[in-house]
Amino acid sequence: MVNEISKMSETDWPEVSRIYQQGIDTGMATLEARCPDFAAWDVAHLKSCRLVARDDERVIGWAALTPVSSRCVYSGVAEVSVYVQTEHQGKGTGKALLAELIRCSEEQGIWTLQSGILQENISSIRLHERCGFRTVGYREMIGRDQAGKWRNTVLMEKRSRGNEAGDVSTGIVT
């Protein structure tokens, strides 16, 4: 059970990378073949909204955002990553992390969160739905897994509430 969600620090990386590798090894979380080192991961992810869930002092899950583009017009759009240690899945850790990531992202001015979820990862799709994401499409044969098999993803997104451009939660822009 989650006792605390806090900002991720570099000192959390050994536990974070272990959980990330666990997800990679399932073949259901990502098409990545191996966990990067901290320097590579750090460059790829936004500095804000890096979170860890703890059960006492132990990291049991993490969440972070990756920018979808370097173009300034997409500065408020980010890709979601949420990973939970295998033995803590299905116990509310992912939901707690994703809810806090949404709150943090809105605080940082992010207006759209997106997730590309492997089509077979039904539990992650349901988690995102419970947190207000909607399916906006499918990407067929978007990448190959470690065995060389083509995989599909479900593209989901969540629009921030209260954006001055209009009601982005419904897609109606004023």
**Cα end-to-end span (Å), the chain:** 42
DSSP state of 9: -
For the chain, what is the radius of gyration of the CA atoms?
A: 16
At 28, is the secondary structure helix, strand, or coil? coil
pLDDT in tens, 69-117: 899 898 899 999 999 999 999 999 999 999 999 999 999 999 999 999 9
pLDDT of amino acid 172: 41
Residue with tokens 């059960």: 55
Q: What is the pLDDT of residue 117?
A: 97
Specify whether the CB–CB gap between 115 and 132 falls below 8 A: no
Look at residue 167 and tell me whether its pLDDT is greater than 60.
no
- Looking only at the bridges linking them, the beta strands covering 77-84 and 112-118 are parallel
The domains of the chain, with CATH numbers, are: 4-166 (3.40.630.30)
Lowest mean pLDDT among 5-9, 74-78, 166-170: 166-170
Query: Cα angle vertex 115, ends 4, 121, to 5°?
Result: 85
27-61 confidence digits (pLDDT tens): 999 999 999 999 999 999 999 999 999 998 899 99
Instruction: Give the model's pLDDT for residue 62.
Output: 98
